[in-house]
A and B are shown apart, each in its own frame.
Chain A
């Protein structure tokens, strides 16, 4: 009666190295399957948790994208990292700091290897949202099996030093209230002025370790698709203000070739990309990108 398998999905685990991860496998449709159990010719897509969100992601957008990619022939996998969702494990009190420092990077890269070998995949594209994008970058930098990255609203700065000294309730208020937004905007302007005067290449709160990993991934020739949600108008909109550092310009300047980065701004959505417009746009752009860089006949390598 209860089964671990449906026609298009299967509940799976990765248990190598004594670390048990629970996940969902979305079977690739039709022609991609080569007949061997669970093995396909096409590259896989691996979804990572965004902070503590379970593997379905907000509004089940992860399920939606994984289902869509699988229907296009790309076997898709969503796993809960240790301590998240259904997977066992301890997590620290400050998850943001943990993710920013690449806390899940090592385990993610070893699980990518395990997944690729156990499923006979030619490689995987890692799909990460917000802090999940951070984990994806850390993991990709040490993984030969990671052939591409899809990053949604990645960030390359560490939390401002002001935040940790505030009570969590106050942080929430500052993040979610209109008055808080004005305070943040004012604080941003002071910070921008300070940064402009410093005239340094990277801001003081840049996540240098993460940027170094980006350089490494770029040097490995991995193609990267980035989605950006519009910045809330209450904090200045999408237009960069004087003194703002454009991390995206910076990382694009690291590219080994002109088409290594694809950056898509998605309108009418928010940071979660979980509304109808966000889901659809991410799905369509990702599918086009996957087909461009990993067409079925040559999904093991990157089309340059």
Chain B
């Protein structure tokens, strides 16, 4: 059982949020528990890959607060080696990140007040959540904007980083994305937006795929006999996905996304949606 040392309440809505450090192998994960008194369900939010974290963070927090306001307890966290979590990013692999999902899911399942557990992943987080769900870690799964393999996430991140980088370099120093892909293929580390990608992370990404029952045209709900909801997000979902203009889109109204997905959780985990706050 967790030792919650501090209570931080939102003065406006009296929803308790508990930031803390969760110990895992050789590091501590930064976690925030959005606690609900009698939760109708619990959700472990598995966020996007590191470079999207800083643009999507506010919206991701808003989503956690929306769920908590509707009686669903939420645990969100930073990947090992990312954000407020400790650990060296360059030493991280997809295997270490999925271990973290397993540890946190297990902790949530062991909490005293029982409630069904849903894993919700965004982008790379979707792949991690899907793998853990496939192994039987949760009662339901929700995926937003999750590609079929992790290599697509890394390629996409590198391509989005390279555009502005080209502007900061002189003509002869500019390199296309294929240059960096080749370096990674050759076993060299590459620095992208302040993160040093290891060749091992790249190598693992090539085979880290969505479990086969979740790949269309398969129906995962039939295979797993547990609820699975997969949502493709378009550019209108920026800054949750790439394409936002910093400074102008952080305050977007996401009720079109939050309300139906919160409703899906509520109805598919067979619990009444008790709107604590609007």
- A residues sitting closer than 8 Å to B (CB atoms) are 1-6, 9, 11, 13, 18, 20, 22, 24, 51-61, 63, 83-86, 88, 91-96, 99, 131, 168-169, 171-172, 175-178, 181, 230, 232-235, 270-272, 274-276, 279
Contacts and interface: CB of A to CB of B under 8 A. Distances in A.
Contacts of B191: 275-276
B195 interface: yes
Contacts of B86: 6, 9
Contact of B28 (A6, A53, A91): A6
Given A2-B3, A56-B54, 6 more contacts: A4-B5, A6-B21, A11-B21, A56-B84, A58-B193, A176-B167
A88 B243 CA distance: 25
A85 B58 contact: yes
B222 interface: no
Contacts of B149: none
Contact of B18 (A2, A91, A234): A2
A60 B168 contact: no
Which size class do B's interface residues fall under? 35 or more
Contacts of B248: 93-96, 168, 171
B194 A11 contact: no
A24 B170 contact: no
Interface of B: 1-6, 8-12, 17-23, 28, 31-33, 53-55, 57-58, 61, 82-84, 86, 89, 107, 163-171, 191, 193-196, 243, 245-251
Nearest to B54: A53
A5 B6 CA distance: 11
B169 A51 contact: no
B83 A172 contact: no
Contacts of A56: 54, 83-84
B54 A234 contact: no
A52 B60 CA distance: 13
Contacts of B28: 6
21 contacts: A1-B3, A1-B107, A2-B4, A2-B20, A3-B5, A9-B86, A20-B10, A20-B11, A53-B54, A54-B53, A54-B57, A57-B54, A59-B193, A86-B17, A86-B19, A93-B251, A234-B166, A272-B194, A275-B191, A276-B191, A276-B196
A88 B57 contact: no
Contacts of B165: 270
Max chain B CB contacts within 10 Å: which of A6, A52, A88, A99?
A52
B195 A52 contact: no
A233 B169 contact: yes
B193 A272 contact: yes
Contacts of A51: 246-247
Contacts of A234: 166-167
A2 B11 contact: no
Max chain A CB contacts within 10 Å: which of B4, B6, B19, B169?
B19
Nearest to A276: B191
A168 B245 contact: yes
B107 A24 contact: no
B251 A92 contact: yes
B8 A13 contact: yes
Max chain B CB contacts within 10 Å: which of A2, A3, A9, A176?
A2
Contacts of B2: 1-2
Contact of A230 (B168, B194, B195): B168
B60 to A, nearest CB: 10
Nearest to A3: B21
Contact of B194 (A18, A61, A86, A168): A61
B84 A63 contact: yes
Contacts of B55: 52
B194 A275 contact: yes
Max chain B CB contacts within 10 Å: which of A4, A22, A96?
A4
Nearest to B8: A13
Contacts of B83: 54, 56, 60, 63
Nearest to B29: A2
Contacts of B9: 20
A196 B275 CA distance: 61
A171 B20 CA distance: 39
A171 to B, nearest CB: 6
Max chain A CB contacts within 10 Å: which of B6, B54, B165?
B54
A18 B4 CA distance: 22
Contacts of A53: 54
Given A6-B86, A270-B164, A94 B193 contact: no
Max chain B CB contacts within 10 Å: which of A11, A85, A271?
A11
A4 B4 CA distance: 8
B194 A4 contact: no
